A and B are shown apart, each in its own frame.
Chain A
Amino acid sequence: AQSVTQLGSHVSVSEGALVLLRCNYSSSVPPYLFWYVQYPNQGLQLLLKYTTGATLVKGINGFEAEFKKSETSFHLTKPSAHMSDAAEYFCAVSVTGANSKLTFGKGITLSVRP
């Protein structure tokens, strides 16, 4: 079965600094990878996803992630953090099959300092 590891529970950056949120996956078949964001008191919404093709994926709000098969990673980055980026971020993995089922990581909270 596939799984996702997000190390740490909290990341704090200064406004304007680089954001790097790490995600490693485990899958015996080619994975499909997602990053979701959850703002306070809201449901999750998709930031970006990798299915096939280009390994560098761009998402909303200036975020991007790169699929690295050799490192089994899908880290999320943003060059310059904004106060509005403060939220919880979830990495998730899925594999091909008849049924859509995402496996989520435990999530990581991003704080942005003024």
Chain B
Amino acid sequence: DAGVIQSPRHEVTEMGQEVTLRCKPISGHDYLFWYRQTMMRGLELLIYFNNNVPIDDSGMPEDRFSAKMPNASFSTLKIQPSEPRDSAVYFCASSLAVWYNEQFFGPGTRLTVL
């Protein structure tokens, strides 16, 4: 398997623009997680899905953030409108159903909002 795939790897945009980050989890994994990593706040869980259903979105910072998982092999994280404080590295991770299984992380998307 190719592992968790994220695109784009880098995104530079201007304030106010819509940003869409994409993730393809490992085939067969039932859980998908979106994280944000910044120097100030460290690694934060934004939202996670189980069998394509959002389970906990309490980490989503504002209504400007939304996430979808239309099928088992694809998820998006959208920011609309984007702001400079959204600049961060966004990671997608996936895992098998059992809670103690490891999460496999993608390479991340480095987002810069000017």
Contact = CB atoms under 8 A, between A and B. Distances in A.
Interface of A: 32, 34, 41-46, 49, 51, 90, 94-102, 104-107
A68 B105 CA distance: 28
B81 to A, nearest CB: 27
Contacts of A104: 42-43, 45
Given A43-B108, A107-B42, A102 B55 contact: no
Nearest to B98: A100
23 contacts: A32-B100, A43-B107, A44-B43, A45-B104, A51-B100, A90-B43, A94-B99, A94-B100, A95-B99, A96-B99, A97-B99, A99-B99, A100-B98, A100-B99, A100-B100, A100-B103, A101-B56, A101-B99, A102-B45, A102-B103, A104-B42, A104-B43, A107-B43
Interface of B: 4, 31, 42-43, 45, 48, 50, 55-56, 91, 93, 95, 97-108
Given A44-B91, A106-B42, A49 B100 contact: yes
Given A98-B99, A101-B48, A107-B42, 8 more contacts: A41-B107, A42-B108, A45-B104, A90-B43, A99-B31, A100-B97, A101-B99, A102-B103
Contacts of B93: 43-44
Contacts, number: 61
Q: Is the interface of B mostly helix, strand, loop or mixed?
A: strand
A100 B42 contact: no
A34 B102 contact: yes
Given A32-B100, A90-B43, A104-B42, A99 B107 contact: no
A103 B95 CA distance: 15
A61 B34 CA distance: 27
Contacts of A41: 107
Contacts of B48: 99-101
Nearest to B99: A100
A43 B105 contact: yes
A104 B21 CA distance: 22
